[in-house]
Amino acid sequence: MRALVLTVNRLAWFVPTLLGLLAITFTISHLIPADPIAFIAGDNATAEQIAALKAKFGVDKPIPVQLWNYVLGVAQGDFGVSLYTQRPIVDDLVGRLPATLELAFVSIVASAILGIPLGVLAAVRRNSWLDHALRVFTVSGLAIAAFWLAILFQLLFAMRLGWTPLQGRVDGWGPDVITGFFLIDSAVAGDWGVFRDVVAHMILPAVTLGFPAMATVMRFTRAGVLDAINSNYVDYQLAMGVPHRVVIWRYVLRNALIGTVTQLGLILGNLIANAVVVEAVFDWPGLGLYAVNSILQSDYNAIMGFTLVIGAVFIIANLLVDVTHGLIDPRESH
């Protein structure tokens, strides 16, 4: 019941938070000293041409009116037109969302599959050479600049060894778009050549993004297992003759993972932040690359659209984390 109230309360703040975010990004983007309209119009544009362009993009009106029009548009799913691509921003964002989601999803799943068992292992053999080695690994994962790691990977595996493609998402056109997730689309089409190509393109960016995420997963799983391993129920089960392995992987791990799940919000935030630069390095056609390009071109409608979408994704993800937390930890609901 309490969990339900909390969820409803959080949902109620969803719209006001997004509105606030909108106001902040709008304020930021309208401080811009550079004039994107003059940039589009070119050096030889006449005053009339510039005025026509301003009217087209709605920037000839006072700022409060622009803000109001923008809010009205967003409410109807219209984020305005990109000053640079001259296409509706919603189309740009929706078209690029699957690339980012696919990459983020693969990275998170991989970091959980590797990070959870390694965290348990480090806790069970605490203070062994394995524990120390894994600790160096986790500390490095949180200290390394993602864009630098991405460049090192490119340097070694793509340029020197030639094992993986340098950048991009697929060679050629890629599979026919059904879901926008290339792994699924190529598998559905049964085109395993393209599937392998998609996997090859994905390895380096996914490892770059997954490394810090895995470090966080490992760190909290280890701490959680160490906390749970000393409790009475573990002693009890061991005394009852339940095998050590079963106690650890079935009972201790479930308790330990509660701590890891609460960190998912943090992991996701880091992942999104890293995705912006990692996509830029790997020329991965997702939201991050779109954001970097719009920033470099002062395309403020696109920057606002990106910020809002990321904010919405982030708030929803944190909400899901809270709900999951309530589900796997029954104590929460009392």
Which residues of this chain interact with another protein, rule CB under 8 A? 13, 16-18, 20-21, 24-25, 28-29, 31-34, 123, 126-127, 139-140, 142-145, 147-149, 151-152, 154-155, 159-160, 223, 226-227, 229-230, 269-270, 272-273, 276-277, 280, 291-292, 295-296, 298, 303, 306-307, 310-311, 314-315
* C-beta closer to another protein: residue 198 or 276: 276
Query: Do 308 and 238 meet the contact criterion of CB atoms below 8 Å apart?
Result: no
Provide, rounded to whole angstroms, the least separation between the CB of residue 207 and another protein: 16
Provide, rounded to whole angstroms, the least separation between the CB of residue 230 and another protein: 7
CA-nearest of 115, 104, 167, 109 to 141 is 115
Euclidean distance between CA atoms 113 and 116, whole angstroms: 6
Query: Do 212 and 270 meet the contact criterion of CB atoms below 8 Å apart?
Result: yes
* C-beta closer to another protein: residue 166 or 184: 166
User: Does residue 167 sit in helix, strand or coil?
Assistant: coil
Provide, rounded to whole angstroms, the least separation between the CB of residue 223 and another protein: 5
**Distance (Å) of CA 80 to CA 57, 61, 72, 305:** 8, 15, 11, 9
* C-beta closer to another protein: residue 194 or 302: 302
Is 160 exposed, middle or buried (CB count within 10 Å of its CB: 0-12, 13-18, 19+)? exposed
CA angle 186, 191, 192 (to 5 degrees): 95
Strand partners, 88: 81
DSSP 248: I
Tell me how crowded residue 17 is: count the other CB atoms within 10 A of its CB. 14
Q: What amino acid is encoded at 142 in this protein?
A: L
* C-beta closer to another protein: residue 258 or 276: 276
Provide, rounded to whole angstroms, the least separation between the CB of residue 31 and another protein: 5
Q: How many residues does the chain have?
A: 334
* C-beta closer to another protein: residue 111 or 294: 294
CA-nearest of 146, 112, 118 to 134 is 118
* C-beta closer to another protein: residue 39 or 183: 39
Provide, rounded to whole angstroms, the least separation between the CB of residue 235 and another protein: 15
CA-nearest of 263, 280, 305 to 111 is 263
Provide, rounded to whole angstroms, the least separation between the CB of residue 212 and another protein: 10
* C-beta closer to another protein: residue 89 or 123: 123
Euclidean distance between CA atoms 90 and 202, whole angstroms: 25
Provide, rounded to whole angstroms, the least separation between the CB of residue 139 and another protein: 6
Determine the angle formed by the axes of helices 192-229 and 146-153, rounding to 10 degrees.
130
* C-beta closer to another protein: residue 81 or 225: 225
User: Does residue 82 sit in helix, strand or coil?
Assistant: coil
* C-beta closer to another protein: residue 147 or 251: 147
The helices-and-strands tally (H runs, E runs) of the chain is 16, 0
Provide, rounded to whole angstroms, the least separation between the CB of residue 172 and another protein: 25
Provide, rounded to whole angstroms, the least separation between the CB of residue 120 and another protein: 14
